């Protein structure tokens, strides 16, 4: 369940999280619940009304399976009206840049291209995104260990969060550390994909586990596209939290929680009408420009399904 304020969020849990016993069973929302979550659109501009009206492009949330996020974390969701009445960070004229700070090396064969991540985040959030000069891994600061299962080096995400707090540029809306090192939040945990402090506006995300070779699996011919898709997805998902969006329980949506890589892979790249309305309310972007820029990215990278989906949204806006 989402409670405010949640200042420290752990992203994608180890099996300790998966085994958590649910206090109540999750009930998939009804059509009436989804309509209530979206709220009345009558005061929104006509174009936004057309883009936010649920249709076949927005699938209702599937019933979660035994290992899925909502089975072990039965969240209650947050309506658009609920979002508007709680406090959340929001860009200002003097703090409006999303910074990406690479920590350590980004080897070409297993890393997402940072410039692609930058362009994607800029389109997704309609804010300026800048890449800072990479900082080498400081083994004294980040408490490395060797993971028992993978036999690979991991860094302590908590130490990185504390470091990032000291690196926040004056005009930053948020500072997102990115790394190809695997992460762990505390000695009891197996791993995390990332961790963030919403109050301090910093987060750290690892892309280490997105290459099939990390687990000793065979890479497909298009594995580099898979790495980019997974990395863009986690970057966009976690950055929505930076704008105060909790997990979505209404539609299949980028903002859905996920327990593991398999569930994250099912998650769409797109925001549902409820979550898009929240992000728009916060950032106040032009939704057509946003879809145009996303469509350009999807076409350029041959993400065919997303390109077609986004083209359909642009057709609706006309
Ligand atoms: Zn999340
Ligand atoms: Zn959503």
**Rounded-to-integer distance, Cα 142 and Cα 155, Å:** 6
What separation in Å is there between the alpha carbon of 317 and the centre of ligand 2? 20
Greatest alpha-carbon span in the chain: 56
Greater model confidence, 11 or 117: 117
Query: Active-site residue among 27, 56, 238, 293?
Result: 238
- At 23, the pLDDT band (50, 70, 90 cuts) reads low
pLDDT computed for residue 22 by the predictor: 47
Ligand that comes closest to the CA of residue 61: 2
Ligand that comes closest to the CA of residue 268: 2
Instruction: Indicate if the pLDDT at residue 1 is higher than 50.
Output: no
Q: What is the pLDDT of residues 30-44, one digit of tens each?
A: 999 999 999 999 999
Greater model confidence, 138 or 120: 120
Residue 238 a catalytic site member = yes
- At 18, the pLDDT band (50, 70, 90 cuts) reads very low
- At 259, the pLDDT band (50, 70, 90 cuts) reads confident
What separation in Å is there between the alpha carbon of 180 and the centre of ligand 1? 19
**Rounded-to-integer distance, Cα 102 and Cα 122, Å:** 17
pLDDT computed for residue 20 by the predictor: 41
Residues near ion ligand 2 (Cβ under 5 Å): 248, 253, 255, 272, 274-275
Peptide bond into 5 cis (omega under 30): yes
Query: Which phi and psi (to 5°) does residue 203 adopt?
Result: -150, 160
What separation in Å is there between the alpha carbon of 151 and the centre of ligand 2? 37
Whole-number average pLDDT of the chain: 90
What separation in Å is there between the alpha carbon of 298 and the centre of ligand 1? 23
Q: What is the pTM of this model?
A: 0.90
Q: Of the candidates 181, 237, 202, 216, which has an alpha carbon nearest to the alpha carbon of residue 69? A: 237
Ligand that comes closest to the CA of residue 10: 1
């Amino acid at each position: 369940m989402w409670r405010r304020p949640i200042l420290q969020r752990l992203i994608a849990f180890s099996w300790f999280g998966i085994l958590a016993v649910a206090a109540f069973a999750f009930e998939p929302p009804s059509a009436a619940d989804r309509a209530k979550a979206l709220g009345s659109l009558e005061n929104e501009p006509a174009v936004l009304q057309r883009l936010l009206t649920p249709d076949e492009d927005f699938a209702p949330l599937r019933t979660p399976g035994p290992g899925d996020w909502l089975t072990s974390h039965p969240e209650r969701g947050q309506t658009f009206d609920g979002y508007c009445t709680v406090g959340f960070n929001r860009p200002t004229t003097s703090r409006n840049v999303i910074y990406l700070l690479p920590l350590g090396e980004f080897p070409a064969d297993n890393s997402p291209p940072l410039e692609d991540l930058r362009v994607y985040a800029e389109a997704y959030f309609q804010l300026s995104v800048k890449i800072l000069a990479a900082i080498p891994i400081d083994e004294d600061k980040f408490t490395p260990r060797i993971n028992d299962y993978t036999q690979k080096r991991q860094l302590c995400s908590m130490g990185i969060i504390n470091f990032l707090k000291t690196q926040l540029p004056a005009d930053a809306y948020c500072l997102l550390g990115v790394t190809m090192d695997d992460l762990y939040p505390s000695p009891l945990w197996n791993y995390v994909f990332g961790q963030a402090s919403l109050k301090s506006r910093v987060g750290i995300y690892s892309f280490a586990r997105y290459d099939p070779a990390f687990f000793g699996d065979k890479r497909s011919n298009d594995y580099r596209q898979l790495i980019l898709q997974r990395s863009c997805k986690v970057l966009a998902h976690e950055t929505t939290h930076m704008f105060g969006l909790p997990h979505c329980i209404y539609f299949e949506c980028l903002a859905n929680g996920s327990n593991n890589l398999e569930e994250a892979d099912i998650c769409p790249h797109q925001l549902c009408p409820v979550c898009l309305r929240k992000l728009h309310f916060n950032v106040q972007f032009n939704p057509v420009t946003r879809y145009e820029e996303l469509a350009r990215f999807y076409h350029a990278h041959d993400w065919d399904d997303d390109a077609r989906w986004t083209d359909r949204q642009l057709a609706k806006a006309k």
